[in-house]
Chains A and B, each alone.
Chain A
């Protein structure tokens, strides 16, 4: 077993420039050198071993299947050769061979098109190939996307028993290209079981040192610093530090807490010799790590240094609209709930999709991916299904929270190992096999039991949050006080963070917000740190804002002042002006609330049915908006604003007309073709068509022809809309059209997008739609 925490360990330096000096030609993959000039690769490794490097990286940075494909090579050919060459260089020394794993060169979803699962599969091939021929450890380096780093780390840990180091590349801003923060990297990778973490490339040692110091505050793991030889001259590409300057600057990284030290671009054995000499009589720095409860996404680190609000809205219990959305996999609706809660001030979001008729194991990870593509907030995965929990934690990008484990032996045994494996935080519910305890003392006893079990498996106190359960006061009145009593002990004696689903308390009583708000304030006073509430309820968020002032969490009351200053200035003036607008006028002007109000009034005074509103008012208005847009009298946002106002009217009409009744005028598929990932145009078309009353099945972007054909057949679709934005994806559009036309009963097809012309559509024998407005015309022709 290698120990990474016993003094300094010297890593190696750059490989690429040395390869160029030894026969690597422009356009060649550096990994081809392993097969063509193996002796040169071994010689380079050996110079690093002789320069004092105790861990050398194999020449496999780009050895993924997709990168090697253009050279007609596979990881299984290149990697064993590379490991053997490195082993030849370390033979007879105590230096170790690390299987080097670099980024795949393609962005993962949602930023790009590569799925997490495919990335994992690629990294698994690399890891297995390296482990099979005896690499001593694995290093994952130069990552800029935490999600990709996670896929690689899981692949190494699940397919090999190798120790694994992970380094990411940070810009001078302290974030990676994809916006990942130092804190998010540290907590996520430590949680997932990396053996050491740090930074490489991008910066020189001078710029890296302060970031190493920041990293040291957030991790207990040994820290790696493998920076460049300074900063490059933009015109020559040469790095600005000499070997001795570099070595001296590396001591600042050591002082900041790094113990695994090496070089990246611009370094060579000379730099590493200087480093070895500099480290000879140097001591590692003393480390202290801040202990804090922490969850995150890559871009949003969240330390529990005060009251944080968990939004409760993504939970189908008692919510008809959300239930329907989950059954239909209408992810846009779920996403809108997330954005709404974020805008209302939620710090993290509880996500529960458990209900009859859905398969949580497939749905929960799908929802997690969707939510992470639209909101940066950390998520709390709320499920009683361990398989769904694991599936969701696996695809979660960052450090998640889990809701929940309880005190029963079965729950502790199944949930805690999953939480530990993925490095999450977990909510411990104060109940067990015997059910809900009636007294505070019993709850505290269960909390202690959960804490002991969590600690035993390696989950620290910071990652355990206790929920001592709020019961409905109209049914069990005396229980509210027991909850508060337990809260005090758990927060102030056990020192744990506390979670509480506050809204339960007022169920069945009049003026619920008053009871909920009062109980929230009591609970905050007794030590509640993580209330689960509806952040859209003003009273509750106001109470929290006030609480933060009174507890000195809101320094100089600045958040509080900002909250109420905004309010007094904004609201009143605008409102009055629009009061008397007709439904048509409101829609035309894109005024959602006014349009909905006008529709409600028409429905209430019985003058019109939902259907007649749609037929006689809504659609003619949308037609006028469409024509005015087409003739250049309206801007695109006005077209969309009108569509959104119509949507608000639709929601009311659907509610008024009840389930089953329909304004539905037929369904169609829309998709951006395979290879095309720019989808705002397609989304605009969707928004507009939905508001004409069509059911739009949005297959998304980068959609394979087979997927479209399959959906057409299984759902008996009569119209398909395809969008392509690049000349390079037109062949995919043609392929899709051909496959659809080969069906026994082919649907109508309309095409659009920046590069699609009427001539091109005619050539394909399909309808052409230049924009959302024309798409609505075509749809009307086909579906009526």
Chain B
């Protein structure tokens, strides 16, 4: 089975879809998703970029990203950043976006057919995650001797969402990728992701994959049923 369309199914729920009809319908979703992926690959120019910054571990537990002159660019407060970046001498800021054309396609699809729009929306999520994975691979290839930490973003754990503005500024994201931020720290275009990944000299255990670090853990429908979202 195609990995991308499996991801789409995961976004669209139906974790107990075991009847023949449901499995049949899953095929329909996969077909529709395939059609959308084909269209999106054709029409979008997703944009991904990353930049590396040296780190300074502050005595008060904060972690500071520095520019090439040793000036502070961005300070990451909180335990999550501290723990994840503890072994790291540098960290990369990542940015991935599908651009405003995806938002336009989704608006059109909502006016055309809401059911298919839900599938298109899920396809967008899959693509932007895929782009983040690709960026991580690029970093790993550029620095084969180093080990990457888990990828984390503003809004995870105790890393505040309000950090987004400075993070985007550090990446010159408006100029480089057309990303804007609303007053409430929402990125536009909608399918945009920023993330931080640390680079260390020794292997890094996965720390935030899994439910304990998920912001949805308290009301996750998968967990209520004793399942996990990655077990589809």
A635, B14: Cβ atoms closer than 8 Å: yes
Smallest Cβ distance from A69 to chain B, in angstroms?
11
B186, A675: Cβ atoms closer than 8 Å: yes
Given contacts A373-B107, A676-B184, contact A632 B13 (CB under 8 A): yes
Measured between beta carbons, the chain B residues less than 8 angstroms from A338 are 111
B13, A677: Cβ atoms closer than 8 Å: no
Partner of A635, one of B26, B104, B112, B114: B26
A635, B45: Cβ atoms closer than 8 Å: no
B73 interface hit (Cβ, 8 Å): yes
A637, B116: Cβ atoms closer than 8 Å: yes
* A26→B73 CA distance, assembly (Å): 8
Smallest Cβ distance from A131 to chain B, in angstroms?
27
* A387→B186 CA distance, assembly (Å): 36
* A385→B14 CA distance, assembly (Å): 52
* A375→B216 CA distance, assembly (Å): 35
Closest chain A residue to B13 by CB distance? Answer: A636
Measured between beta carbons, the chain A residues less than 8 angstroms from B19 are 633
Partner of B115, one of A171, A175, A644, A675: A644
Given contacts A26-B71, A179-B99, contact A675 B45 (CB under 8 A): no
* A675→B189 CA distance, assembly (Å): 14
Smallest Cβ distance from B167 to chain A, in angstroms?
14
Partner of A106, one of B101, B110, B114, B182: B182
Against A, the Cβ 8 Å flags (1 = close, 0 = not) of B96-129 are 0001110110111011111111110100000000
Measured between beta carbons, the chain B residues less than 8 angstroms from A26 are 67, 71-73
B118, A637: Cβ atoms closer than 8 Å: yes
Closest chain B residue to A641 by CB distance? Answer: B115
Best-buried of B73, B104, B184, B225 by chain A (most CB within 10 Å):
B184
Measured between beta carbons, the chain B residues less than 8 angstroms from A144 are 178
B73, A643: Cβ atoms closer than 8 Å: no
Smallest Cβ distance from B71 to chain A, in angstroms?
6
Given contacts A234-B49, A727-B161, contact A112 B219 (CB under 8 A): no
Stretch at the interface among A270-278, A419-427, A680-688: A680-688
Smallest Cβ distance from A30 to chain B, in angstroms?
13
Measured between beta carbons, the chain A residues less than 8 angstroms from B107 are 110, 373-374
Measured between beta carbons, the chain A residues less than 8 angstroms from B215 are 755
B184, A728: Cβ atoms closer than 8 Å: yes
A353 interface hit (Cβ, 8 Å): no
* A105→B174 CA distance, assembly (Å): 7
Against A, the Cβ 8 Å flags (1 = close, 0 = not) of B188-232 are 111000000000000000000000000110110100010000000
B45, A171: Cβ atoms closer than 8 Å: yes
A633, B111: Cβ atoms closer than 8 Å: no
Measured between beta carbons, the chain B residues less than 8 angstroms from A632 are 13-17, 221, 225
Closest chain A residue to B119 by CB distance? Answer: A637
Smallest Cβ distance from B111 to chain A, in angstroms?
4
Given contacts A637-B118, A675-B183, A754-B216, contact A299 B14 (CB under 8 A): no
Partner of B113, one of A105, A173, A644: A644
A557 interface hit (Cβ, 8 Å): no
How many residues of A are counted as interface, with CB atoms below 8 angstroms from the partner's CB atoms? 67
* A337→B182 CA distance, assembly (Å): 31
Measured between beta carbons, the chain A residues less than 8 angstroms from B100 are 107, 111, 177-179
Given contacts A178-B100, A375-B108, contact A636 B186 (CB under 8 A): no
Smallest Cβ distance from A29 to chain B, in angstroms?
12
B180, A107: Cβ atoms closer than 8 Å: yes
Smallest Cβ distance from B153 to chain A, in angstroms?
13
Given contacts A105-B174, A633-B16, A728-B184, contact A684 B114 (CB under 8 A): yes
* A165→B38 CA distance, assembly (Å): 40
Closest chain A residue to B218 by CB distance? Answer: A757
A332, B190: Cβ atoms closer than 8 Å: no
Partner of B104, one of A105, A179, A754: A179
Measured between beta carbons, the chain B residues less than 8 angstroms from A299 are 101, 104
Smallest Cβ distance from A136 to chain B, in angstroms?
27
Partner of B185, one of A376, A683, A728: A728
How many residues of B are counted as interface, with CB atoms below 8 angstroms from the partner's CB atoms? 64
In A10-49, the 8 Å CB interface with B consists of 26
Given contacts A644-B115, A758-B219, contact A726 B108 (CB under 8 A): no
For the residues of A in contact with B, the DSSP-based class is: loop
Smallest Cβ distance from B95 to chain A, in angstroms?
13
Measured between beta carbons, the chain A residues less than 8 angstroms from B15 are 632
Best-buried of B22, B26, B32 by chain A (most CB within 10 Å):
B22
* A197→B118 CA distance, assembly (Å): 40
B104, A636: Cβ atoms closer than 8 Å: no
A640 interface hit (Cβ, 8 Å): yes
Against B, the Cβ 8 Å flags (1 = close, 0 = not) of A743-774 are 00000000000110111000000000010000
A184 interface hit (Cβ, 8 Å): no
A201 interface hit (Cβ, 8 Å): yes
Against A, the Cβ 8 Å flags (1 = close, 0 = not) of B116-148 are 111101000000000000000000000000000
Smallest Cβ distance from B75 to chain A, in angstroms?
12
Measured between beta carbons, the chain A residues less than 8 angstroms from B106 are 680
Closest chain B residue to A106 by CB distance? Answer: B180
Measured between beta carbons, the chain A residues less than 8 angstroms from B108 are 339, 374-376
A113 interface hit (Cβ, 8 Å): yes
Measured between beta carbons, the chain A residues less than 8 angstroms from B104 are 111, 179, 299, 373, 376
A112, B188: Cβ atoms closer than 8 Å: yes
A160 interface hit (Cβ, 8 Å): no
A335 interface hit (Cβ, 8 Å): yes
Partner of B178, one of A177, A637, A643, A675: A177
Against A, the Cβ 8 Å flags (1 = close, 0 = not) of B168-179 are 000000110110
Best-buried of A112, A144, A635, A702 by chain B (most CB within 10 Å):
A635
In A103-121, the 8 Å CB interface with B consists of 103, 105-107, 110-113
Chosen A-B contacts, 12 in total, with CB atoms closer than 8 Å, are A106-B181, A111-B188, A299-B101, A332-B111, A590-B115, A633-B22, A634-B22, A675-B183, A678-B190, A680-B118, A727-B161, A755-B215
4 A-B pairs with least C-beta separation:
A177-B178, A675-B184, A632-B16, A640-B115
- Known contacts A338-B111, A683-B117; 13 additional CB pairs below 8 A are A110-B107, A177-B100, A179-B100, A201-B175, A332-B111, A632-B225, A634-B22, A635-B12, A635-B13, A635-B29, A637-B12, A678-B186, A770-B219
State the B residues within 8 Å of A (CB). Answer: 9, 12-19, 22, 25-26, 29, 32, 45, 47, 49, 52, 67, 71-73, 99-101, 103-104, 106-108, 110-119, 121, 155, 161-162, 174-175, 177-178, 180-186, 188-190, 215-216, 218-219, 221, 225
